[in-house]
Structure 1
């Protein structure tokens, strides 16, 4: 029995894809299209341990999907065997609280949400349109980053704004990276051999984009990202939390436009703005060389994360596990140690030897006497998407 599912993650200038057998959860193929809209784009298609590379122009997502289909035809696996297509979709707003079958009406509703995620939803919609044209005979499903956080209580998702303005424009906390937070928190219960519904967890998704969640008994009750993926933790190029008055200050005193401010906070801030680089390997090297900017950037990053961990300890009331995931969370033992050492007074105890181990497997890195279990769990959003897609289409 085989249930191959094609998974697409369309960005503004890229498409990542995988084919996963949803029965045995093996990866049958994967690929990446880069520089869509450029004359010098690339596509890499990997199957059976071999990668097929092409360089060509991709004027739009439709052309990129056609080339992807050609590579499947030439090198396999055959897309004719695919039973469904799952699309990562960043912002579902309040309208989409679960994985949803794609229809024309659904896409119209999704387009209306684009102002809430102008950098993310339009390319996702373009990818869905192109994929439906390329693969018209199979069901397509949208998996929303915001869905996992649709359980947030009103006290957590409500901003203290004029109620009529917030209601008219859908202004509230939505949260993002939900597919990752859901997958990782469930994997933690599996690793610990405990019922998901009995665990209070904090999950730290630390990559170029970063977010943290509080999960009580399997239900998300708080998260750091808000109306957009800009709020919350310090990220690679995003500022995270700033005084909301900063926008008015920069407009009035500096003469910056709204677009200039948006670009500053989303693309020129975070670790890049603080020390000039975003890769923590480079940051660690700069710190070792005595670079003061890199050291401050690292300290700011840790301080902001500790701020949220402390808040979520209070929100949850008790904590069973804290987990680090995504590129930075999984691969930076120095960062994990810097955070956990600051939490020692609350009974957190890190096993330094276990923390230093490099592995792609989920693992416990706390000492046996730690009051809170500390884990590193590699995220697998594509597998989570495959599971969601399979359930949605009844495959």
Structure 2
């Protein structure tokens, strides 16, 4: 019989769940959480029971029999730096995410919810490819300012899932190839993968702007804004993440709205649309130097649903390597197939030890 795996992926305003039988997804649902509901809670940790109960209710309505599950897996939250792959959810991890999180983030709830469900069913619970996956080489950590070290914060789950799929498509192993991966979503991150390790990255605050994040902005001008007296620390963070990028220009983070404006001939929209593609291509070029030009493929995903947008990127970077377009998200597959490899003894789950 195929292993049945429940995958849970909490985001800031939604929770995605999916049920897999072996490699096949048999049920999926995105649960949207309204601002009115979320505003009832003082912090993200307080949302635990609310989100867990909704997940169980949706699974029940969907006819999912929890007693048939072999494992529960969730997106890795923001932990201290960890290796790629699977980790068993243990007491150290739960305590860290519940009582001493590195950053308060919705993804931290996933391990807590998965652990509660798994413990009740007496089955294993895993995280897979945490946001905090860190495989940077020493030279990549240097920022240029003593006391500030670059860290590895990127969309590891989706990026590695896409890279593994492309490697399989090419009939090779992920560990034998070099890739540049562009995760194109509400936030954009780029990563250079050498022989199975993400040896350098461009985080969402270091490179291209995105639908809702400002990306890399001129430091001296940013300092002036910070000290203008118009913003406090929280509002500045919001200005950079959430209200930045396309949202700062047009009051929307919906790329479909921007594309309609472009097709209607709005010249400012054309400029911003092309500028985002330009910055993504520039970041990919930057990472090609990390790999000394030895790039087997460039992979784009997420906003890659838009042929027009991808073509703007491709025309600038296709000289580097073949471009593999993978529209949409691959995170749920990444979670479930990662857990399946552990259950089938093709991968060993690590034990998290808090530091």
Change (3 A) 1:266 1:60: same
TM-score normalized with structure 1 length: 0.76
Q: Is the 8 A contact 1:85 1:139 kept in 2?
A: yes
Higher RCO (CA-CA < 8 Å; seq separation 6+): 2
1:335-350 to 2 correspondences below 5 Å:
335-343=309-317, 347=319
Cα distance, 1:341 vs structure 2: 2.0
**Counterpart position of 2:137:** 153
Of 335-344 and 2-11, more deviation after overlay is shown by: 335-344
TM-fit CA distance, 1:123:
3.8
Contact 1:132–1:140 (Cα < 8 Å) also in 2:
yes
Give secondary structure in 1 for the equivalent of 2:128.
strand
CA distance in 2 between partners of 1:263 and 1:156 (Å): 27
- Report the CA distance between 1:96 and its aligned residue: 5.6
SS of residue matched to 2:253: coil
Q: Which residue of 2 aligns with 1:310?
A: 285
C-alpha distance in structure 1 between counterparts of 2:175 and 2:107, whole Å? 32
Q: How much is the aligned-residue C-alpha RMSD, in angstroms?
A: 2.8
The aligned residue for residue 213 of structure 1 is 191
CA contact (8 A) 1:93 1:146 kept: no
Name structure 1 gaps, 5 residues minimum. Answer: 42-58, 349-371
Q: How far 1:247 moved relative to its partner?
A: 4.7
- Indicate which of 105, 118, 127 corresponds to 1:119: 105
Find the counterpart in structure 1 of residue 3 from structure 2.
3
Aligned partners of 1:69, 1:324: CA distance in 2, in Å? 34
Quote the residue 2:323 is aligned against: 374
Q: Which has the larger radius of gyration?
A: 1
Task: Kindly report which structure 2 residues correspond to 1:97-176, keeping only aligned pairs within 5 A, or say none.
Answer: 97-111=84-98, 114-115=101-102, 117-124=103-110, 127-128=113-114, 131=117, 135-146=120-131, 149-163=133-147, 172-176=150-154
Deviation at residue 151 of structure 1 after TM alignment: 2.0
Aligned pairs (5 A) from 1:80-91: 80-91=67-78
Structure 2 length as normaliser, TM-score?
0.84
Matched residue SS, 1:220 = strand
What's the CA shift for 1:36? 6.3
Deviation for aligned residue 1:29: 1.7
Size of the aligned set, in residue pairs, is 337
Structure 1 distance, partners of 2:104, 2:14, is 16
1:248 alignment partner, SS class: helix
Q: Matches of 1:97 and 1:323 in 2, distance apart?
A: 19
Q: Does the C-alpha gap of structure 1 residues 16 and 188 become closer, same or farther in structure 2, counting only changes over 3 Å?
A: same
- Alpha-carbon deviations, 1:264-285, whole Å to 9, x = none? 1111111111233333332222
